[in-house]
Chains A and B, each alone.
Chain A
Amino acid sequence: MALPTYEEVIAKWDPVLGLEVHVELNTQSKMFCSCATEFGAAPNTQTCPVCLALPGALPVVNEKAIESTILIGLALNCKIAPYSRFARKNYFYPDMPKNFQISQYDEPICFDGYVDVEIETEEGAKQFRIEIERVHMEEDTGKSLHVGGATGRIHGADYSLLDYNRAGIPLVEIVTKIVPGTGKYAPEVAKAYVAELRDILRGLKVSDVKMEQGSLRCDANVSLKPIGSDVLGTRSETKNVNSLRSVERAIRGEMIRHAELLNDGKKVKQETRHFQEDTGLTRSGRSKEQAEDYRYFPDPDLVPVTPAASWIEELRASLPERPSLRRKRLKEEWNVPDKEMAAMINADVLDIVEATVLMGADPTKARTWWLGEISRIANEKELPIAELAITPAHVAELVELVAKGELTDKLARQVVEGVVAGEGTPSEVVAKRGIKVVNDDGALMAAIEKVCAEQAETAEKVRGGHLPAAGALIGAVMKETKGQADAARVRELLLGHLGH
């Protein structure tokens, strides 16, 4: 039997989702030791007795990690537990040095929250509420490199090489309650949820949230039930989903796979599956001989976390505006078209544009500079925009200089180049490079007369009423004055000179 189409699946089946997102926090040091957390360091250079699980070593929790987790919980509308503990999750795996993971079990630090997400549909925007079961702290594992065999994958490898730099990096796990009622929109809702989480986390500045580097990872649970039924189906858990697009693809793919099995009267196996970026399909993980029994118990090496109510309130007060609400507000305040708004979000310049506007710049001008010339330079230099030497204050100053007529747009671009090159503020660059608009009418008139004499034929056409021909003359005058003239004033003087 052929695979059912997506339309066939949703005509008969109702998907139920569950999403587990792991976020690596961007703390300087690891969760339970003082090793650095740099991405991409040479193997085993960020390890110590604690994160290598040498005999006798003990964990001590990173206070920043606790703070970041509470911030995440608050941003996701969670309750913060007045008493929570770390627990050991016991299982053997070579990338986990202690052969237990320090996590939280029945006493997570944050619980019972929600996130609202919005998706665009053919029937207009639709909102869905994703309920959060818990947000808890844990630690990452090391990385293994599989050597030998054909694929570099774990299967068929001759041996593996372990690098524990990542072992012990703080992880926060965000677990949703089951998400029913998304119907045919399930894949998009899941994607929108992960995107919203990413934006919230970025706004909190607690994580790099780079899915491609694994600092945000999603496990997607999917099950199907017949439309109208209250009985949940068997779920599969898909791991390894590391892009927004993959979240959508993996869920769609699993819905189709489940429906095919169920349509054939077969059963869905409760198992872990792995998402394959290349095919968009999932494959079954090696089934375990017996169900794992993690033997959770409170970690005796770590003491309870009991955050003071006053501290929680302080953190709550410090929460940034929710990204979706902020975007809505800025779009209205700045009167930005949808496409431009999307462009700013994609280019990640919203913060920087807002900062520029707060310094008095016109929103449209500020946006144009950051999205245009400055983005172009950043691309050229292959640098994130934030790492360029130009700041919102510089751009605000630039916009002001142009508005006052002290710079033309063209001159302003030269100034930007100077600022990026580290020559100072726009005024300093203007002074150092001797850039200034030629607004001495006498000098302009001399240039105009010179150009009109050189291009007498064109000048006559203009004098005769053919105004479009003036462009060529204005261009020549601008060239003559090395671009330092105000084009509008040149036009005015030229037309006057030619009898208009």
Chain B
Amino acid sequence: MINKTAAQMAEALAKGETTSVELTQAHLDRIAAVDGQVKAFLHVDTEGALAQAKDVDARRAKGENLSPIAGIPLALKDVLVQKGVPTTAGSKILQGWHPPYDSTVVSKLKSAGVVIMGKTNMDEFAMGSSTENSGYGPTFNPWDLTRTPGGSSGGSAAAVSSFQAPLAIGSDTGGSIRQPAALTGIVGVRPTYGAVSRFGLIAYSSSLDQAGPFGRTVLDTALLHEVMAGHDPKDATSINAPVPAVVAAAKSGDVKGMKIGVIKQLQGEGYQKGVQTRFDESLQVLASLGAEIVEVDCPSFEYALAAYYLIAPSECSSNLARFDAMRYGLRTGDVDGASAEAVMSATRDAGFGREVKRRIILGTYALSSGYYDAYYGSAQKIRTLIIQDYAKAFAQADVLVSPTAPTTAYKIGEKVDDPMAMYLGDVATIPVNLAGICGMSLPAGLADEDNLPVGFQIMAPAMQDQRLYQAGAALEAALLSKWGAPILSKAPELKGAK
């Protein structure tokens, strides 16, 4: 049962072939069997999950009108606040914190009857691309346990790709859904900025953060997208418009006559050979399905990485100021006679990891008087140029495409001491975040040189998320028939798995 898609599980639930309790228990068993090696979860809420499952089974028995994914288990990135369930954002500074409220995403999941099984590992406060920056140790890539699953939503991606959960939620500030989806061979979508409420999403960079869905298929991902998106009056940056028809688009999956723009700046040099090969192959598949391939020029994308590594640290230096040992979370150094100021400094030293401190210091610098215009101010202007580049590109094409990440999954420890090398892994995903538009990564096959998954990225204008699913579903179907089986069937069996 756990190897089925979420859509198939939903169908089995609807037909009464299984119950949510059975389905949830099967996944909890899988977690117990394999997560010792993958380490996707920081917290498994066995009791809570089974209670939710029981409740949704009862609602179904009463004949209540349920959402299409009611009763399906899900893994939640630990960056989203869930009432009463430990929430840490991967940081020691929040160890033991039990939130007294639900994020809007969690409220939506609960009312849709989705079963939240637990909280997944992540780079601390979503800062990182490998999940190695977690305060609780790394997550391992199910394809090769010596490699990272990407990040920062590495725990969620690893959970879905190792069949511990059919669906998961991540957050994407610079590629943190799309890149781990690519590195673990699954589908991940970063919705349009403002499409999914950020209320209860622990902020890294407010103007870039967006929560989004993971699934093993484009349709599964769309089913979750539809449940989690929608306007929220508690988030002033939430878009007050209907959710795009993503499920319908995923079901239609047609690219005939669609114009697909290949971004000149996001391919070629710097991209692993196997990544480029699979990308080119997917383009040919799309062309064979009737899409028109054009090349588009986005010259300012060259500066996107620099702009991102100013904007995100600047915002985070302010967003993370609230972790000060006064009202919740860790408090250290509170010895007799210590001042509040000293306790704050000691706690923030002890509670934050190296990467978080590095970004806070960089952001503090970029915002400080005398440097603001040169750094933060310039970065915000680059952002304008990137938006303009996208506008021109979308005038020529319905969707834009690129490889999701320049490389396949790298070894744990390989880049952890070289922040710049790590940052370069986000080069293809970051422009989407800066422009506030939407993007998807879906599997394009395995790289020849290392047999590891390669991601194909599709981008669409703001609130045109359905285009991602329409193009993605078409490519997915064509590749599936070419491969004969889903890509995850090629992943090695995990020890302990039955």
Contacts and interface: CB of A to CB of B under 8 A. Distances in A.
Asked whether any CB of A lies within 8 Å of a CB of B in the complex, the reply is yes
Given A58-B198, A90-B321, A301 B344 contact: no
Interface in B323-340: 323-324, 326-328, 340
A287 B199 CA distance: 39
A99 B321 contact: yes
B364 to A, nearest CB: 7
Interface in B174-226: 198-203, 205-207
Interface stretch (A47-55, A265-273, A409-417): A47-55
B101 A49 contact: yes
A90 B320 CA distance: 11
Given A160-B340, A293-B369, A301-B237, A57 B199 contact: yes
B314 interface: yes
Nearest to B125: A55
A56 B344 contact: no
B137 to A, nearest CB: 21
B376 interface: yes
A29 B105 CA distance: 25
A295 B235 CA distance: 24
Contacts of B202: 55-56
A97 B315 CA distance: 17
Contacts of A60: 233-236
Given A55-B322, A56-B201, A301 B206 contact: yes
Contact of A90 (B203, B237, B318): B318
A98 B318 CA distance: 8
Nearest to A44: B327
A185 interface: no
B340 A295 contact: no
A94 B236 contact: no
A323 interface: no
A100 B367 contact: no
B70 interface: no
A445 to B, nearest CB: 78
Given A56-B199, A94-B340, A295 B368 contact: yes
A155 B372 CA distance: 35
B81 A56 contact: yes
Contact of A61 (B100, B236, B318): B236
A297 B314 contact: yes
Contact of B322 (A48, A97, A302): A97
B341 interface: yes
B206 A300 contact: yes
Contacts of B486: none
B94 interface: yes
Query: Which of A52, A56, A61 gathers most chain B CB within 10 Å?
Result: A56
A92 interface: yes
A293 B321 contact: no
B201 A295 contact: no
Interface residues of A, number: 30
B344 A92 contact: yes
A162 B315 contact: no
Contacts of A297: 314-315, 318, 367, 372, 376
Given A54-B101, A56-B200, A100 B207 contact: no
B367 to A, nearest CB: 4
Query: Which of A60, A92, A160, A300 gathers most chain B CB within 10 Å?
Result: A300
Contacts of A303: 236-237
B148 interface: no
B99 interface: yes
A49 B234 CA distance: 11
A134 interface: no
A288 to B, nearest CB: 11
B88 to A, nearest CB: 9
Query: Which of A54, A160, A303 gathers most chain B CB within 10 Å?
Result: A54
Chain B contact residues: over half helix, strand or loop, or mixed?
Answer: loop
Contacts of A52: 327
Nearest to B97: A55
Given A56-B81, A297-B376, A100 B318 contact: yes
A295 B327 contact: no
Contacts of B201: 56
A85 interface: no
B286 interface: no
B50 interface: no
A191 interface: no
A363 interface: no
A58 B234 contact: yes
Interface string B214-253: 0000000000000000000111110000000000000000
Contact of A57 (B97, B200, B344, B376): B200
B87 interface: yes
B28 to A, nearest CB: 26
A59 interface: yes
Interface string A78-97: 00000000001010101001
B80 interface: yes
Query: Which of A54, A55, A58, A296 gathers most chain B CB within 10 Å?
Result: A55
Contacts of A301: 203, 206, 236-237
A300 B315 contact: yes
A48 to B, nearest CB: 8
Contacts of B340: 94, 160
Given A58-B235, A295-B367, A297-B372, A97 B81 contact: no
A59 B368 CA distance: 24
Contacts of B315: 297, 300
Interface string B333-375: 0000000110010000000000000000000100111001000
A99 B324 contact: yes
A160 B376 CA distance: 37
B199 A58 contact: yes
A59 B199 CA distance: 9
Contacts of B341: 92
A58 B105 CA distance: 14
B144 to A, nearest CB: 33
Contacts of A99: 321-322, 324
Nearest to B376: A297
Nearest to B199: A58
B381 to A, nearest CB: 13
A98 to B, nearest CB: 5
B184 to A, nearest CB: 26
B89 interface: yes
Contacts of B99: 49, 54-56
Contacts of A92: 321, 324, 341, 344
A92 B345 CA distance: 10
A98 B321 contact: yes
A88 B318 contact: yes
A55 B81 contact: yes
Nearest to A53: B322
B103 interface: yes
A55 B89 contact: yes
A61 B234 CA distance: 10
Contacts of B203: 55-56, 301
Given A49-B101, A92-B344, A293 B368 contact: yes
B314 A100 contact: no
A393 B233 CA distance: 43
B153 to A, nearest CB: 16
Contacts of A55: 81, 87, 89, 94, 97, 99, 202-203, 322-323, 328
Contacts of B369: 293, 295
Contacts of A162: 326-327
B401 to A, nearest CB: 29
A52 B327 CA distance: 8
21 contacts: A48-B101, A54-B100, A55-B89, A55-B94, A55-B97, A55-B202, A55-B328, A56-B103, A60-B233, A90-B317, A90-B318, A92-B321, A94-B324, A98-B322, A99-B322, A100-B318, A295-B372, A296-B367, A300-B205, A300-B315, A303-B237
**Closest 3 pairs between A and B when the two form their complex, measured CB to CB:** A99-B321, A295-B367, A300-B207
Given A61-B236, A92-B324, A98-B321, 8 more contacts: A54-B81, A92-B321, A94-B324, A97-B326, A99-B322, A295-B318, A297-B314, A301-B206
